[in-house]
Structures are given as structure tokens and as C-alpha cells.
Amino acid sequence: MDKMIYVDNLRKEFKKVIKEPGLKGSVKSLFSPKKEIITAVDGVSFDVDRGEILGFIGPNGAGKSTVIKMLTGILTPTSGMCRINGKIPQEDRKNYVREIGVVFGQRTQLWWDLALRETYAVLKEIYEVPDEQYHKRMAFLNEVLELDDFITSPVRTLSLGQRMRADIAASLLHSPKVLFLDEPTIGLDVVVKENIRGAIRQINEQEGTTVILTTHDLSDIELLCERIVMIDKGKKVFDGALSQLKHSYGQMRTFRFELLSPDDIALLDYRGRFKLSDDDCSTEVKKASVCVKFNSSLVSVEDMISYTLQTVHVKDIEIRDVEIEEIIKRLYKREVAV
């Protein structure tokens, strides 16, 4: 499989002026600013196959957006290199950006005062999309993203959900080879999210568009991506398939049960029985219902269940699959060593 995106040891430093607090500090920083170098991205390398959807995740401030901005040619890396479809973004920006589509969930790239239809007409000219292809494309985007209801309204009057759909359509008008989506579902309701995910999947499947997706909504990742790259504090901490992540870090399992008599809870002592630390086993009790989280690499699910059933009378029991959210939460909090 040929690679669409190569990222090699990418690094970005920012200079930041440190201001001391108060008026005195302001005056002081005016004359002799103290500068600090902040490394936003610290030697990140990965690659993406043609036609792949890559989930690019990490906690707030991890450097995701900075990487995306370097890949899209907006920022110049301090060192390292990225190459997309054989092109280096910073070298020939105008030609490079013809091949990519970009959506920044946080800001619109539509013209604020124009009717949406006009915006697309402007983009058609800029990207030199032939008439016939343009009409076909608009019909397709209309169908996938349901733009018809608001295509004549000025962009400033659109709701967030409409605007995001409009933005995604704008990024796809020229049939880009690579699509960069920086938090495309931020602040959207469930229905619109579903709609947008469907559109991304459809475009990826039908046109083989390579997609890089950053998001804080892990259902986006679970539904769209097979592979994820996770970064934290500017460094890559995980790169692999989603299933691998579950396998490697999914030791924490959860099961719930309902006690026949609530007082029985006193009889259960998982930590004592299996010699587990607080980190490896925790219980949550709400009246008769009990939720147990434990580290399955230390105790098997079977042992836990049989101990429970032998000790108390249980009305109902439920064993859950590994939750990706739980793993990532632990990774973000650095509870799991990588």
C-alpha cells in the first residue's frame, strides 16, 4: 500500500513572552520581555495509507491542531518534515492546497456575509471546477449533507449544525485527495453528528479520500476510524489499530450486579480476597446495585464472578465490554504506562 501522508520527526516551537502579573509586570515586559520557548509538537512521526481514516486524538493542548496546521501548510515546522501525496505543504502552498480539503470546527471558512450558494460559486471558480462536475458534486453534497434547506441563507444566519455541514461541503467541493477535519463534530447535537459521520464515511468509501480526523468525541473515533494516533504534550504516545488499543490497555473491566438484599454488600471483599490495590479494583454501590471495576490482568473475569456468586445472592448481573472511553481517560490521566 502506498502512503498518502508521511510525517517525520515533526517539531514546532513557539516563542512566548512571559508577562509578570500586575501593572508593574506589564511595563517591565514592554521593555525587556522575558521569552520562553514552548515546544508544542516534539518529534512526531507517523504515516497514513491512501484511503485510510486516521483518528488523531489527544487531550486539550496536546498539539493536535498544531500538527494539522503544519500538515495543511499554515504553520512552518521548526524542524522535521511532512509530505502529503509527494508534496511538501510549505514549499508550494498554492498548488498543494488544491489537493486537500480542510475543516476547522472552531472557525468557519465560509464568507460570513454571503448566501451559502454564492460561497460555493466563489469556491467553484477558485478551484476551477468545471460546470458539469460542479453540478454533480453539489447534487451529491446536497444529498449527503442536506444543504437544501439553507442554501439561500447568508452564512451568518446559519445554526452551528448547518454551518458545520456547509463547511464540510465547502471543503469537499473540489474533490480533495486528503481531507483534514479538526473537530468536525464539536458542539453538535446527536442527529447532526450522525449525519456528518455518515457523510465522512460515504466520501471515504466512494472516493477513497484519505481522512485525518481530530476529535474529543470518542464515538466519532469508534464509528469511523480503524487506526488512531494519540499524542500528548507534543509527543506520540500511541499509534495503532483501535482493537490493539483495547487489547493492550483494556485490562480494566467492569461488571454490575443487583443484590437481592442490600445488606449483603458487607460480605464482599474483593481487595482482600484477591489482594488488589485501590487502583486495580474499585466498587461503587448505589442501594442494591453494585458496580465493580477491576484489572483483568491480575484477576480473571471468571474468578471475580464466581467469587461474587458464591458469596452473595444476586438478582441480575451484567458484564461489560472494554470501553474505549475508559482506556483513553486513563491514558490522558497517565494511569497507564505507555
Partner 1 sequence: MTKLRHFFRIYLPFSRAGIQEMVAYRANFICFLIGEIVSAFIMFFVWKAVFASSSQQTFNGFTLEDMVVYVFITFLTGYLTYSDGAFAIGEEIVDGSIATRMIRPCSFDMCFLFHELGSRLISIAMIFVPIVAGVEIYRCVITGSVRFDIPHFLLYLLSLTVAYGISFYFNVCYGFMAFFFKNLWGTSLIKETLTSFLSGAIVPLAFLPAPLAAVLNFLPFASLSYTPVMIYMGMYSYAEIAYRIGLQLFWLLAMFLLSKLIWRCAVKRLSVQGG
128 binds partner 1 (CB under 8 A): yes
DSSP per-residue letters across 84-138: ETTB-TTTSHHHHGGGEEEEETTS--S-TTSBHHHHHHHHHHHTT--HHHHHHHH
91 binds partner 1 (CB under 8 A): no
By the 8 A CB rule, do 210 and 4 touch? Answer: yes
73 binds partner 1 (CB under 8 A): yes
157 binds partner 1 (CB under 8 A): no
185 binds partner 1 (CB under 8 A): no
Q: CA 164, 165, 168, 173 torsion: positive or negative?
A: negative
122 binds partner 1 (CB under 8 A): yes
Give the residue, chosen from 72, 195, 210, 214, that forms a contact with partner 1 under the rule CB under 8 A. Answer: 72
Give the residue, chosen from 121, 242, 291, 314, that forms a contact with partner 1 under the rule CB under 8 A. Answer: 121
Nearer to partner 1, 96 or 332 (CB): 96
32 binds partner 1 (CB under 8 A): no
Q: By C-alpha distance, which of 270, 251, 256 is closest to 322?
A: 251
Give the residue, chosen from 7, 41, 82, 97, that forms a contact with partner 1 under the rule CB under 8 A. Answer: 97
Cell of 314: 444476586
By the 8 A CB rule, do 327 and 246 touch? Answer: yes
What is the C-alpha to C-alpha distance for residues 150 and 259, in angstroms, rounded to an integer? 54
- Whole-number minimum distance, CB 252 to partner 1, in Å? 32
Contact set with partner 1 (CB under 8 A): 14-15, 65, 69, 72-76, 93-95, 97-98, 100, 102, 104, 106-109, 111, 113-114, 118, 121-122, 125-128, 154
